[in-house]
Structures are given as C-alpha cells and as structure tokens.
A and B are shown apart, each in its own frame.
Chain A
C-alpha cells in the first residue's frame, strides 16, 4: 500500500461525457502528479501540482484539467471524452517539489464506449 488513494477504480462512460478522477496523496506529500498509461503510449506525464499550485505540464489535452485543493487532494477532470481517452490514469505523490521518488496509487481505469 503506497498510501496514495485513487477513486474510482473503474469507470465506464460514453463519448462526449465528462468525468472526474480523485486522488488523495500520502500524508505529508505536497506534490501530486497525474499520468496516463495506455498500451500504445506507455506512461505519459500529464500535470503536476505542488502545494496547490501548478508546477509542470506534460502532454495534457485542453479537454483535460486538474487542480489541487487546500487539503492537498487533487482532481483530474476529463471532458468531451473520446474513445482514445480510454486508459489507466495514475496519480502519484512525492514529498519533494522536484520529482524524486514517486508513490503511485492503484490507478483509475477509464473506459469510453
């Protein structure tokens, strides 16, 4: 158990819909990272927050957005969903502002039909 909690574990929705994935980091960790994992693209970095502020952006689509709340939990919002958005979405946390060891949650599996 990494201490990182992600909900929901599984989500099935239709194209065009919007979903929200939630992440609670390890106690004391200020950084939250979001990654997308698919068979053809591997593990792709989406975005990072540190203590409530956006710190780095990766290959995140404009249809996706995220935020980190004062209690440090984070949400990833995915809108206008397409079939290609089907993937595993991982949240990871770290005590450091700049990477270091990442502690991953178990992921949220999104299926878009």
Chain B
C-alpha cells in the first residue's frame, strides 16, 4: 500500500514567516500534486511535479520533487493570512493507474 506522510501535521505561524511542509513516502510516484483545501471547500490543485528533482514556483510557493520521486516539499516565503488552509500532497503511481493517493495533510494557520 502506498502511503504519503506529511509533516508537520499542524503549523501555526505569524504573517511574514517562512515555512516548509514535507511529503514523504517509501514508494515511487510518477507524479506528485499539491492541493490546498479551505474550510467548506474541496481541495484545489496548486501544482503538479513530474520529473525527479523538479522545482516549480508559484509566486511565494516553491515546490520540489525529490530526485528519487519518493518525496516532495512545499516552501512558503513570507506567509500571508490567505495561505491558511489544509495542504495535501497526492501521488500518482507508476504506470497507468486511477488512484491518486493523498497524504495525511498539513493544517497551516497564519496569524496576522
């Protein structure tokens, strides 16, 4: 069974601080997605990383896929209150598969 562990589970920081969220697995994934979920809403895709070692930037968010395609990280620079939410990584297995396995989630609260 493919599992994705995220750390930390909870994070409460002040506006302007930097943070990193980790997503780890013992399995190899063909691609990895990051979603953000706000209260009362469904998850919304932020980015997809496909190549080992790939780095993608989305404004203040930097996503990296591990070289071995088993892990990923999300770094937020100068966090804002609007970044508050549940961050979920999701891995797509090797080969043709219909299962997107979601990580355990990181709940981020950015205080003003």
Contacts and interface: CB of A to CB of B under 8 A. Distances in A.
B97 A106 contact: no
A43 B99 contact: no
A42 B103 contact: yes
Interface stretch (A11-19, A66-74, A76-84, A95-103): A95-103
A45 interface: yes
Interface string B84-101: 000010001000111111
A58 B101 CA distance: 10
A99 B98 contact: yes
A77 B97 CA distance: 24
A21 interface: no
Interface string B5-44: 0000000000000000000000000000100000011111
Contacts, number: 57
A107 B42 contact: yes
Contacts of B40: 106
A90 B100 contact: no
Given A98-B96, A99-B92, A101-B33, A45 B101 contact: yes
B98 A48 contact: yes
Given A42-B104, A42-B105, A43-B105, A58 B99 contact: yes
Identify whether the interface residues of A are mostly helix, strand, loop, or mixed. strand
Contacts of A42: 102-105
A56 B97 contact: yes
A4 B42 contact: yes
A14 B101 CA distance: 30
A2 B102 CA distance: 19
A55 B57 CA distance: 33
A48 B97 CA distance: 11
Most buried by B among A35, A104, A105: A104
B31 to A, nearest CB: 8
A55 B33 CA distance: 21
Interface of B: 33, 40-45, 48, 88, 92, 96-105
